[in-house]
Amino acid sequence: MNIYRVRRYIKGKFITLLWKTRGIKIFDRVSILGTSPHISGKGEINFGSLVSFRGFGSRCWFHVLSNAKLSIGSKSFINSGVMIDVSVAVSIGRNCLIGDCVVIQDSNYHEIEQGAGVKSMPVLIGDNVWIGRNSIILPGVEIGDHSVIGAGSVVTKSIPPRSLAAGNPARIIREIAASQDYIRS
């Protein structure tokens, strides 16, 4: 085992213990490359086994309001600069790849039109989903299992399973062939 793996393992164990003392539920342990994510708010946070975070260049930021819930499934990878803002619920499935500088929000936090109110709806991301760099996922979106979101996309509507979607606003480009047990690496 090389020195970098040993450091990453020790850092992951330390951060896991630290986060558990803050009430964050971690199934096993996390893996952190670079700077650890900034986590704020008093909501519920659950990380599956071996969730990986990368913090080179820019740090990940997670804000979970009281009575809100953030859940990230086992073996998912969260890249540098990711911002997840939760006022209701954000759920990321297992084996997901979240690219650099992705923004995931379940609320627009402000009225768009007078009297329209604030839109807050859960965001659900299925298993084995890849979200490309600089994409934005907006409130109420569901992304189906095995889907890919192209870099720089703004996802305003739900994407069905096994779909490649891209653009602003994101639209489905084509279907993706993937067996149920396929895991993207």
- Residue 169 half-sphere exposure toward CB, CA atoms < 13 A: 8
Q: Write down the catalytic residue from 38, 63, 110, 146.
A: 110
The question of whether 38 is a catalytic residue gets the answer no
Cβ-contact 151, 137 below 8 angstroms: no
Taking the CB of residue 185, how many other CB atoms lie within 10 A of it? Answer: 6
Cβ-contact 46, 74 below 8 angstroms: no
Q: Are strands 136-137 and 154-155 parallel, antiparallel or unpaired?
A: parallel
The residues assigned a catalytic role are: 110
